[in-house]
Structure 1
């Protein structure tokens, strides 16, 4: 029998009856009389685990594969595996990732999209595809996972602790999506299909409440198994619908010494959207000799998200103040729960939004074994994405501006449960004779717009020529990378068994352009009845008490020439802020060594490494100001900056007992600044006669191209017990010391060569004092994770096929901003829960999953598609699936065929954000539930 020492934790758990210690056999530590090294023992256990899981199918097979990935990784990882390509446990990659211990997701338009790891938002983690860093369709680095099809992926691994060889950096971790490797798979031809529908009937007459998905995949090997090919094509048309309460805000006021909060205005609407996505994946592997292996992979995604939004903007305290009054007030909070307004003019909205993106990613990897001790690796990759948004607002009402039309007398009352307010209008907004095309508010405050139509302040139509708006931001993101690496096996080198060396170069360019257009009816200033051919009937706003409102094809009206356009950027400086280019060149060098040793009788394995990063960044934008004419004038800017970092890392695994390990990780990590905060576009003022406290004539506000990465020293300690082939439990503690975080602050930048926007003259003093984002300060974050997978067959053979998976994470932070004030990390929920109960036997499959997170600060799209932080209430999402595999059930004539029914968000959990306090509801978004009926057939 082997001689080893149990940890105090193991002994305590054993005494409590929580751990059953299996008996050791001599064969498990010796092989043909030879004692195995720790590395050999782990490799032997890997091989044994692979053999033991061959007969396990379906979801249970995915669970076992995920457990083995976690168990045999040098890093602290979580994993999702697919039994076959296109058969990840969920229809969305983000949904699957969000169930992993310590991870969660924020919903965007009803879909899980942005992933948080251990309390950090998506911008503090990196995303890779087959180990290569990926571009993003947003303004920043954080990946929106609904762009990536789960139907063609074979797995996802989340690295919670880094090592020196990982080709991406993130304080939170790295999420790696993986494709199938055809040389390690058998020939497979597979068809997957799904029918998808929402629980809501069509909320818009031209929307969709049903859609579908289809996937074809082919894997094969040729030439005596020296060439492998995997191909997958997936097509999806996924509907999504929403009933949304949205508040403009809640102004405070004081009456007779008492403070009150009242509804400033509201913009509730119904949304129908369809996400269309075509995806193609190709993987080619070739092993022409025993020494050489080549892999080429290519991914293409064509993504379109079309939204139809119809609703009514309802002013109250921020309206025309024509007799608004409070009818009921909560005495404890001073919040006006019921109010009334008279003779108010509402804006009927028929809006469209198209978000289109095209992504391509290519990679070539070569592995060559020089001899028994040396191997070489070369990797080249390129990924790019282009995104175009076309967001169109069309206004209609009873009259133009604030001088014409029929006013409404209406009341509002907040519903119980903080779900928003209901209204009692006096007008019929579904009457095409009453509601006509045109802007019923005076909110088009543009000098250029007024000048175009000859409007002066004495005109009744002054600032009333905006009948709609068209927003057209674009993003292009490209990343190219090269990597060379060498690995040497070490003989007689003490505790070190292998050393790896590598160098890589990455270059990334992200280019954003922002523009918007005022829309004015060609018949201005007349209001226009909606022509018959564009009428679509009405939509119901009964969920907020507004009854029906007119619905028309606003996109067709624009296409057919009913509107004139005028660029908003002529007089609005926000587009200059949001137009920029950021470039990064990163050179990385690393060395990493694997080790194995024994401390007493405890085998220890792991790795230690050092990664050096040299970064050169630049940003091109504009310095702009406002001329006396009211028009925007600008001068180009180009600011460069460079920095370097050393990132040491250590991962150790202590095999304290059979199937029980203690892991320790320590690493210096970084997260690069948000790209939109690094831009060189600034509002600039040059005052030759005034010098500020820093001795500068320039003062600017906007982006800061001198930002450097956030940094953190992280420690991880965990205990893992693999008490069966299908089960484990773990306890983990993590701690991070955060520094150089990015907050609102001041900085200094050199605007050499930049002309004074107002005069066009380049001043001699080029130093500028800026206000915006700046590095500094930080704090600590710590937390604990508890996770377990329990196959109930260890309790009784009668329960074979039943299982439970659960995790709980608690996170705490103590971070101060540059002013010494408490700061809350975006994406941080103090508590995360996840649980899945499943049964799988004789072809029948069933599971129900729930994930819960507490309140957090989330990011949503604001005006002009700016990233906007809001307070998001905690939520619990419940999904379920049942399925049947005919082959596993013994129907040989139907072998390869399986069917399933899945329900998502079965409890219809809303997305709720607040504005400063729990009763000030900013958004209450009700998505209903989604149902999918699908099949898979494998030849």
Structure 2
């Protein structure tokens, strides 16, 4: 193998590409196939075929995709995903230069590209924009199983033909092309998983499994190809979580300090159940026609069991005293509360999502110079969330039942605190079902149980259910033509038109839960947990609270032990969170491919222009509260706008191994959907405001337009080996029209005053919400490379290093000139992988590190909430063995591996302020281990 690699280094780039094509490398992904076709037309026919397998093959393939692309890209090949399997595409993407992931419940999910968060990048499947299961545009990549994808390409610089706009870039997921493969493939994979934590909840899981069946074949003289993959997974994840309400100011002995306001620590046990199906049908009835139909189906169910104790402190009912203070920060590191009641929580969350994606593409080579391309696609996501909270304690309301004396002491670093307590929270006779604190401030709930004006007013919330639903649907069409031309500068010209129609809707609702046995005045107490729903106890030693009762809250709700009342009757927040946004986007593009020479050096690339026409509309609710009840009126607001997006990509080959790249492009990122919705609070004032408007509006801005950026990229690349390269990149973004809080005009024509029901004479309103206006710059540099150690000695063949470092800065300012930190921006991102692969044996250790950043987490009611997230360093490792490559011919096709994730048990930490002691979340996920095999028939 080493000899083959050395021979490969001597080949010219075009010949290398042809060699890759002949050995099956370039057939793994659509972009690489196109690159290989171009190279095949230019290269000589007498090329020696060199075969490299396994992880090293994936490196060669990825390096060559980067090398011959006209844009600045990063890629993952099928062998990288298949040979070293990850639980999702997100885990694989997190190892690419300039990319970083944010973990959600312990799993890599959201992607940042060069300092921009997930909402600033586009996601496509086979070049088609995709829907998302989140409330916004940003894809949650743990939805996509890595096992059924053939590759991923991340475009850091665009060209005019790429769909899926984003300031940061575009992530294109690719399915396999069966007609480009050698022949029949039948493969099965199996994996068992284990968490390092034993069961944190008695009904949780610490073991899981994953299985994949893959089939590919060609028929009718290789004119019809079929690929089918089926993947099923039940993956466990566990968490010990410290969560604080906040840190208010506290005064003692005439001095002011910060103190713990309250805490909600818990243990979580989750199972992610995901069933996926991929189907591809290709037909080439003639040499000049290729038709492809692909389908992807994902059924995603995330079940979470959470148990903990909610402990009010400074914001509680007890008498609070400070025991010790950190003088440097003025923070009370140890305190005591006397006479305090707590809430024992047994919760159950469920995210149930179903995604369908269908696409059909036809390419017709009309003649040797003209190619026509037609594409149609449809994708849809339906997501339902159920979040059940169940409360228990010693007595109903603030003043009934036994109180406790509790104290807390902060642990070292930013890991939260530990408590001391006196009550036994594992005693089913002491801790009973019901609301131990007066949280249910609902007039409708008081009226439902006839307690208005009694001692039980606002003491009836024994639990709560959140039930938000999201539906996202996207239909698209595209037609393009490419004409080869005879020219010393331009090799071909492409032009096309595309149309996308996307509608995303969110319906928010919640329900107060009250024990069905409650009645006033005959039965106003708590209820002992029935024997059949008792599950034992959950251990909270990690916060010092010991054992607590654990019961089946899902079963209690299902079997009618609770009565539910809509929160939206008296709480207007659900009207704000319910909306429908529709976008109709028509795009025209023209692109010229460049192929010329400057000073005898080849110059290639493209220049193009994309025109985008956007028509957006939003439906929602205008609401007000009248006599304690929410009154709504429907809203329907439309807006349209246009953009011209020029782009230029140039690659100058200094010699066979060295290139410099230049990219310039204007890009856009469309507004977050929840920020452009037409649901808002609406109050009609008799006196007009300073703008002359009577309506006062608070909520979304349906006329919010995209953020804009003009980017410059300059890169030097040196491909010193078929397995090795290094690159230095500089990038700069000039950002305008960023989104900040401000005021905007709203047309309320036809909307009735909720207080009177009449249509006001003055329909003009002043809205408060997100507006366009912020501007600034983002710039940075990127170092990346792969170093195979066989360049130093044949004895080191198989050993290698992969590393990258990205530094990012920004000076973005809001309209008032104040500095602003872009969500997703870490000032430094680094990755490192040490690998060995030879004679069937493979091993890899990988590190990914990012600095502090701002990101979205789930807040109250599963609403996206932006927080400060601490930087993290995560280590993964794997060893594997391929029996066929190892010389065991009777076991040809069989390989095994052992993999460990988060080996250093890196926590996920968010802060409530600049003080590192003011921890909002400290989430310890432990480690995760996988043992698996793959067998190819």
Q: Counterparts of 1:534-683 in structure 2 under 5 Å?
A: 534-628=533-627, 630-683=628-681
Task: Give the secondary structure class of the aligned counterpart of 1:815.
Answer: coil
Match of 2:934 in 1: 936
Corresponding residue to 2:481 among 483, 486, 489: 486
Task: Give the secondary structure class of the aligned counterpart of 2:90.
Answer: helix
Question: Which deviates the most, 53-62 or 783-792?
Answer: 53-62
The answer (yes or no) to whether the contact 1:86–1:215 under 8 Å persists in 2 is no
CA distance in 2: counterparts of 1:635 and 1:878, whole angstroms: 53
Offset, 1:918: 1.2
Match of 1:12 in 2: none
CA distance in 1: counterparts of 2:554 and 2:260, whole angstroms: 32
Q: Counterparts of 1:126-165 in structure 2 under 5 Å?
A: 126-165=122-161
CA distance in 2: counterparts of 1:84 and 1:125, whole angstroms: 23
Contiguous gaps of at least 5 residues in structure 2 = 1-7, 19-34, 519-523
Match of 1:477 in 2: 472
The answer (yes or no) to whether the contact 1:512–1:580 under 8 Å persists in 2 is yes
Q: Counterparts of 1:233-248 in structure 2 under 5 Å?
A: 233-248=230-245
Task: Give the secondary structure class of the aligned counterpart of 2:66.
Answer: helix
Match of 1:519 in 2: 513
Question: Which deviates the most, 504-513 or 55-64?
Answer: 55-64
Corresponding residue to 1:495 among 477, 480, 489: 489
Match of 1:15 in 2: none
The answer (yes or no) to whether the contact 2:856–2:865 under 8 Å persists in 1 is yes
Q: Indicate how the Cα distance of structure 1 residues 84 and 860 shifts in structure 2: closer, same or farther if over 3 A, else same.
A: closer
CA distance in 2: counterparts of 1:202 and 1:50, whole angstroms: 61
Cα RMSD for the two superposed structures: 1.9
Corresponding residue to 2:74 among 73, 78, 83: 78
Match of 1:732 in 2: 729
Match of 1:97 in 2: 93
Corresponding residue to 1:467 among 462, 469, 473: 462
The answer (yes or no) to whether the contact 1:85–1:152 under 8 Å persists in 2 is no
Q: Indicate how the Cα distance of structure 1 residues 765 and 183 shifts in structure 2: closer, same or farther if over 3 A, else same.
A: same
Q: Indicate how the Cα distance of structure 1 residues 841 and 86 shifts in structure 2: closer, same or farther if over 3 A, else same.
A: closer
Task: Give the secondary structure class of the aligned counterpart of 2:446.
Answer: helix
> What's the CA shift string for 1:855-888, capped at 9, x where partnerless?
1111100001111011111100000000000000
Corresponding residue to 1:258 among 249, 252, 255: 255
Match status 1:843 vs 2:837:
no
Match status 1:195 vs 2:201:
no
Match of 2:4 in 1: none
Offset, 1:256: 5.5
Match status 1:706 vs 2:703:
yes
> What's the CA shift string for 1:366-396, capped at 9, x where partnerless?
0011111111110000000000000000000
Q: Counterparts of 1:787-806 in structure 2 under 5 Å?
A: 787-806=784-803
Offset, 1:543: 0.5
CA distance in 1: counterparts of 2:695 and 2:327, whole angstroms: 50
Q: How many residues get paired?
A: 906
Match of 1:302 in 2: 299
Match status 1:505 vs 2:499:
yes
The answer (yes or no) to whether the contact 1:85–1:180 under 8 Å persists in 2 is no
Match of 2:170 in 1: 174
Offset, 1:92: 2.2
Match of 2:866 in 1: 869
Question: Which deviates the most, 638-647 or 519-528?
Answer: 519-528
Q: Indicate how the Cα distance of structure 1 residues 447 and 655 shifts in structure 2: closer, same or farther if over 3 A, else same.
A: same
The answer (yes or no) to whether the contact 2:13–2:656 under 8 Å persists in 1 is no
Match of 2:783 in 1: 786
Structure 1 stretches of 4+ moved >3 Å: 21-29, 39-42, 44-54, 84-89, 253-258
Offset, 1:461: 1.4
The answer (yes or no) to whether the contact 1:88–1:154 under 8 Å persists in 2 is no
Match of 1:367 in 2: 363
Task: Give the secondary structure class of the aligned counterpart of 1:429.
Answer: coil
| TM-score, length of structure 1 as denominator length | 0.95
Match of 1:68 in 2: 64
CA distance in 2: counterparts of 1:742 and 1:296, whole angstroms: 39
CA distance in 2: counterparts of 1:204 and 1:768, whole angstroms: 52
Corresponding residue to 1:119 among 115, 126, 134: 115
Task: Give the secondary structure class of the aligned counterpart of 1:451.
Answer: helix
The answer (yes or no) to whether the contact 1:298–1:363 under 8 Å persists in 2 is yes
| TM-score, length of structure 2 as denominator length | 0.95
CA distance in 1: counterparts of 2:321 and 2:901, whole angstroms: 42
Q: Indicate how the Cα distance of structure 1 residues 41 and 467 shifts in structure 2: closer, same or farther if over 3 A, else same.
A: closer
Offset, 1:253: 3.3
Offset, 1:25: 8.9
Offset, 1:259: 2.8
CA distance in 1: counterparts of 2:359 and 2:48, whole angstroms: 33
CA distance in 2: counterparts of 1:740 and 1:418, whole angstroms: 36
Question: Which deviates the most, 836-845 or 750-759?
Answer: 750-759
The answer (yes or no) to whether the contact 2:15–2:47 under 8 Å persists in 1 is no
CA distance in 2: counterparts of 1:889 and 1:23, whole angstroms: 28
Contiguous gaps of at least 5 residues in structure 1 = 1-20, 32-38
The answer (yes or no) to whether the contact 2:58–2:80 under 8 Å persists in 1 is no
Q: Counterparts of 1:194-343 in structure 2 under 5 Å?
A: 194-255=191-252, 258-320=255-317, 322-343=318-339
